[in-house]
Amino acid sequence: MLPPSPDLAPELDVSQWLNAGPQLPSLAALRGKVVLVHAFQMLCPGCVLHTVPQAQRIHAALRRDDFAVLGLHCVFEHHAVMSPAALEVFAAEFRLGFPIGVDRQRPGSPLPATMAAYAMQGTPTTLLVDREGRLRLHEFGAVDDLALGVQIGTLLAERPGTRVDSRA
């Protein structure tokens, strides 16, 4: 896990949301909660086989007022087939219940905005943001369920202005 940064995590730059309802999610609006951001592509085998189901399991298991799961669909290849309409079908077929943002495409760049802001290497990428809005985990590739659970639990145990030593 990364040490707490005094800087806030960059805001998600999203062109549209699925499963979000009238109150659109943002890291600023979720301040006070621990936030898991699952960055994925629907045609990424590692995402489909491992991390999309993991995010869904975490969302189902940790229904709490102080925790949120957000999906971030980062299209950096195969742009023509990974449209928002295709993503809606994908989310429905996989019964994804958490909000999913479509990372905003940048003109002239294959990398979408949030992916670039976080310097992501690809998908899947897991981000954990603490209650104060600081990025505490930035991991490319699948993260082991148990390891991710410990990291989420550590952040949930922290209260603003305090810090639990995760090495204990």
**pLDDT per residue over 2-60, tens digit each?**
555 568 999 999 999 999 988 899 999 999 999 999 999 999 999 999 999 999 999 99
User: Is residue 153 pLDDT above 60, yes or no?
Assistant: yes
Global pTM value: 0.90
Q: Is 17 helix (H, G, I), strand (E, B) or coil?
A: strand
Q: What pLDDT score does 167 carry?
A: 43
Q: What percent of the chain has pLDDT over 70?
A: 91
